[in-house]
Amino acid sequence: MNWGMENRLRRILDPSDGRTVMLAVDHGYFLGPLTGLERLDRTLEPLLPHADCLMITRGALRRAVPPAMRIPVMLRVSGGTSIASDEAGVSSLSNEALTCDVEDAIRLNAAGITASIFVGTEHERQTLTNLTALVDAGERWGIPVMAVTAVGRQMARDLRYLSLASRIAVELGAHMVKTYFCDGFEKLVEACPVPVVIAGGKKVPERDALELARRAVDAGAAGVDMGRNIFQSAAPAAMIRAVRGIVHDGLTVDEAWQLVEPELAR
Ligand code: R5P
């Protein structure tokens, strides 16, 4: 047993139920100052007490998070692309490299490291070998690796594609997978023998986001890695508490909604 690896996994995933509420704020690595993340420090302050894990880049971690923070960090270590070059047709978002070495991840006391894979795109091989390089480093130093099944512009977020990408990530050694929820999600979880968390995706009405979290957990997800549907909500602290209630406390959508609705009405 790799004690460090096991300990880090149990810091990311609550040992009492194997689930996590991971707060994702890494979007700036290719989107720049996304709405809600302009002053990351202010955004994070009311949310961190309710998060099990924080997904973030090293630059943002150093600049916006006090070292006294006790929440485990899932460090985003892939990037090198931007929405600007993608929109200009100069490059594509799938053209990622590894952007942080494992020594710096250790220096930052990362509990996990994460990179995107773009299966079915021109950069499939490059991003899959990014993942395998990371798994080699993670195994060497006892740091779990989470694969993010990113989706190219033309790719459908359906069971066929997402379970293909998720299973490939596991076969290549990923210790966790982050993907999108889709119809038939329980089949994806069944074929993916590591903890699977779902991304929230673009901002939708709060109740819809709670519904998404409930359906994902019911289908076997180990929780969420949610960003925009929390920090872009008009009631972000209520949203993360409600999501937490769904992930850890078995709240129904109606029960969780009762935590959010009054805060939205203020
Ligand atoms: C993409 O920018 C990142 O990997 C995010 O961490 C991921 O998409 C989850 O955030 P959201 O819930 O906003 O989709």
Give 249 Cα–ligand 1 centroid separation in angstroms. Answer: 23
Q: Which residue has the higher pLDDT, 266 or 121?
A: 121
What angle in degrees, to the nearest 10, is found between the helix axes of 206-218 and 253-265? 160
Average pLDDT over residues 223-236: 98
The pLDDT of residue 164 is: 96
Give 23 Cα–ligand 1 centroid separation in angstroms. Answer: 9
What CATH number is attached to the domain comprising 43? 3.20.20.70
Any ligand 1 atom below 6 A from CB of 142: no
Residue 84 pLDDT greater than 80, yes or no = yes
**CA geometry: angle at 145 spanning 214 and 120, to 5°?**
75
Share of the chain above pLDDT 70, in %: 99
* CB-side neighbour CA atoms (13 Å) of 28: 18
Residue 226 pLDDT greater than 80, yes or no = yes
- Cα–Cα distances in angstroms (integers) from residue 255 to residues 26, 210, 213, 247, 251, in the given order: 29, 10, 13, 13, 6
**Tokens found for residue 159:** 């069971």
Could you give the CA distance from residue 262 to residue 266 in angstroms, rounded to a whole number? 7
Any ligand 1 atom below 6 A from CB of 227: yes
**Ligand 1, atom nearest to 27 Cα:** 2
Q: pLDDT band at residue 155, thresholds of 50, 70 and 90?
A: confident
Q: pLDDT band at residue 151, thresholds of 50, 70 and 90?
A: confident
Which residues constitute the domain of residue 183? 3-264
The pLDDT of residue 71 is: 98
Any ligand 1 atom below 6 A from CB of 226: yes
Q: What residues contact 15, with CB distance under 8 A and at least 6 apart?
A: none
- Cα–Cα distances in angstroms (integers) from residue 18 to residues 15, 54, 190, in the given order: 5, 16, 16
Q: Please tell me the residue having the least CA distance from ligand 1 atom 10.
A: 227
The pLDDT of residue 266 is: 82
Alpha helix stretches (DSSP H) within the chain:
3-12, 28-31, 40-44, 58-64, 83-87, 102-107, 124-141, 159-171, 185-190, 206-218, 228-231, 236-249, 253-265
Could you give the CA distance from residue 266 to residue 264 in angstroms, rounded to a whole number? 6
Could you give the CA distance from residue 117 to residue 126 in angstroms, rounded to a whole number? 9
Any ligand 1 atom below 6 A from CB of 26: yes
Q: How many domains does the chain have?
A: 1
**CA geometry: angle at 57 spanning 53 and 61, to 5°?**
75
Any ligand 1 atom below 6 A from CB of 24: yes
Residue 158 pLDDT greater than 80, yes or no = yes
Give 1 Cα–ligand 1 centroid separation in angstroms. Answer: 31
178 is catalytic: yes
**Per-residue pLDDT reduced to its tens digit, 168-222:** 999 999 999 999 999 999 999 999 999 999 999 999 999 999 999 999 999 999 9
Q: What residues contact 27, with CB distance under 8 A and at least 6 apart?
A: 34, 37, 227, 228
Average pLDDT over residues 244-249: 98
The pLDDT of residue 156 is: 82
Locus of tokens 């795109």: 121
pTM for the model: 0.97
Mean of the per-residue pLDDT values for the chain? Answer: 96
